[in-house]
Structure 1
Amino acid sequence: MEKKTISRDGTPIAYEVSGEGPAVIFVTGAMATGASDAPLASLLSDRFSAVVYDRRGRGESGDTEPFAVAREVEDIAALIEATGDGNAALYGMSSGAALALEAAASGLPIGKVAVYEPPFAVYEGGEKQRAEYTERLTQLLAQGRRGDAVELFIALTGAPPEVIRGMRHSAVWPALEAVAPTLAYDNAVMGDGLVPRKRLASVPVPVLALAGGASPEWMRESARATAEAAPDGTYRVLDGQTHMVDPGVLAPALAEFFAG
């Protein structure tokens, strides 16, 4: 990351900007740094100032205890001040979608919010699963068992045991363990795991909720419910896409929404 801005609590937040035009800030999901959004940002940089950043506790950004979701909202506020002309649009991926929506509901100067597959629970049993995950994650992190915490999260996403075993022996595993403590941050952002309908009802700007046509049905329903709960929400499915969405397919949908 080339630049840093200082959040309200003194935490340095690392970011990069590519292109010129209205600012769009990319909010990553769990286990990711700003580098993961770079391919998508580059596809939008011909029309927008695409801002990628390392969320606190990741990459080149700092971290300050105690954590609160409000601190991550303040990080976005600092980025808007540093990169926007008084306001910005947000794009949030997965749990980063929940953070982007919370930032908009908090009254930051945000013009539009696009999200891809916010992982809210929409079916019976989802709330219980979230509570069990929270309890186990808290235990593992308190014991310093970062690798087991990462494994717990990956299992929650539906990855089979053999895939997880392979990942534990891969070159990327140390980087995943390095950001394992931030799994608690994303978990806090998700709240009780249910669609935050009352909070979404207070989002004062247009919301585009996207999902992949090849993703599990519950992910599409979560995106649909998010759009329906927002006063000015739109739901759209990207045919053939999964949670690992192709930037080349996603970018035109975002460009149309942000420029429209």
Structure 2
Amino acid sequence: METITTPAGNTLAFDRIAGGDAGTVILVGGAFSYRKFPKMVELAEKLAAEYRLTVVNYDRRGRGDSTDTPGVYDVENEIDDLAALVAAVGPAALYGWSSGAGLALRAAQSGRIPDVTGVVAFEPPFVVNHENFVPATDLAIELHRLIDSGDRSKTVRFYMKKAMGIPGFFVETMRFTPFWKNLQATAAATAHDWAVMAPFMRGEALRAEDWSGVKVPTLVAAGAKSDALLRTGARAIAEVLPNARHIELAKLSHNPNIAILTPPTGEFLSGTGEYADFSPVTH
């Protein structure tokens, strides 16, 4: 484990897997994710071993071994964290999963991290119409109350049901699985995920002017087995980005088979193979 201290005084913990000379990518996890999450570790190892990428797998603030500023939930702080991390490891692409994909895109849009070289966004949960689930606009009030109360189990259940739209039956079943304790460990950090995604989960169409700053080549990926909401959101963001390619992968869901997800990700980032084309898409 390596650490850096951000200009704001927070500690960010990360693992760095040296793969070769194909560039560096920073993995940005989504809600309930952390750097030791098994599928993030598997993705990191495969990208390094198979595509010669140096992979930086970090704990976002408030997760794992990274510190937080309790009660302060602002996407700008997480963009600052990424800026500090890129400054420490050198020019890097960003790979984001779910709300981590939203953070990666917002970081690229900000213009504050000039050394971002590209983005892979796997199923950012943009909610762009009212055909499926739309979270309540005042969701943060109850979420912050639950976090302040210290009841991590209730926080997890609330966020999964009310922010992610997971049916209650599935959420209650998860409580009896071994990984429930890991979900609880990152419960308080869900407020950061909501800060990232809330403006873009209102059932409104995405606007190109809000994303015109994402100049770097971007691959937006979704799984054909994922919910319609996620597939629709992936297509919608790809359509408004200046330089994006959209793919939908068969036999893949939001809980991805890393063996299926790795090849397009690795080829896009390393500039090799079928998915190496970074040329702009004409919309």
Task: Please give the TM-score of this superposition, normalised by the length of structure 2.
Answer: 0.84
Q: 1:206 to 1:39 in 2, by over 3 A?
A: same
Q: For residue 189 of structure 1, what is the aligned residue in structure 2?
A: 196
Q: For residue 158 of structure 2, what is the aligned residue in structure 1?
A: 152
**1:113 maps onto 2:114 in alignment:** no
**1:114 touches 1:210 (CA, 8 Å); kept in 2?**
yes
The AA in structure 1 aligned to 2:16 is V
Q: For residue 59 of structure 1, what is the aligned residue in structure 2?
A: 64
Structure 1: distance between partners of 2:12 and 2:196: 18
Q: Which residue of 220, 240, 251 maps to 2:251?
A: 240
Q: 1:91 to 1:187 in 2, by over 3 A?
A: same
1:132 is displaced (CA, Å) by 4.7
CA deviation vs aligned residue, 1:131-162 (integer Å, no higher than 9, x gap): 15333323322333321110012224344434
Query: 139-148 vs 110-119, which deviates more?
Result: 139-148
Unpaired stretches in structure 2, ≥5 consecutive residues: 272-283
Q: Which residue of 179, 183, 207 maps to 1:172?
A: 179
1:127 is displaced (CA, Å) by 8.7
Q: For residue 212 of structure 1, what is the aligned residue in structure 2?
A: 223
Instruction: Indicate the RMSD between aligned Cα atoms, in angstroms.
Output: 1.9
**1:9 touches 1:64 (CA, 8 Å); kept in 2?**
no
Matches within 5 A, 1:217-236: 217-236=228-247
Q: For residue 79 of structure 1, what is the aligned residue in structure 2?
A: 85
**1:40 maps onto 2:51 in alignment:** no
Q: For residue 278 of structure 2, what is the aligned residue in structure 1?
A: none
Structure 1: distance between partners of 2:74 and 2:128: 25
**1:127 touches 1:193 (CA, 8 Å); kept in 2?**
no
1:129 is displaced (CA, Å) by 2.1
Q: For residue 105 of structure 2, what is the aligned residue in structure 1?
A: 101
What is the total number of aligned residue pairs between the two structures?
257
**1:126 touches 1:193 (CA, 8 Å); kept in 2?**
no
**Large movers: runs of 4+ above 6 Å:** none
**1:200 maps onto 2:211 in alignment:** yes
The AA in structure 1 aligned to 2:194 is N
The AA in structure 1 aligned to 2:235 is R
**1:27 maps onto 2:28 in alignment:** yes
Query: 222-231 vs 69-78, which deviates more?
Result: 69-78
What fraction of aligned residue pairs are identical, expressed as a percent? 35
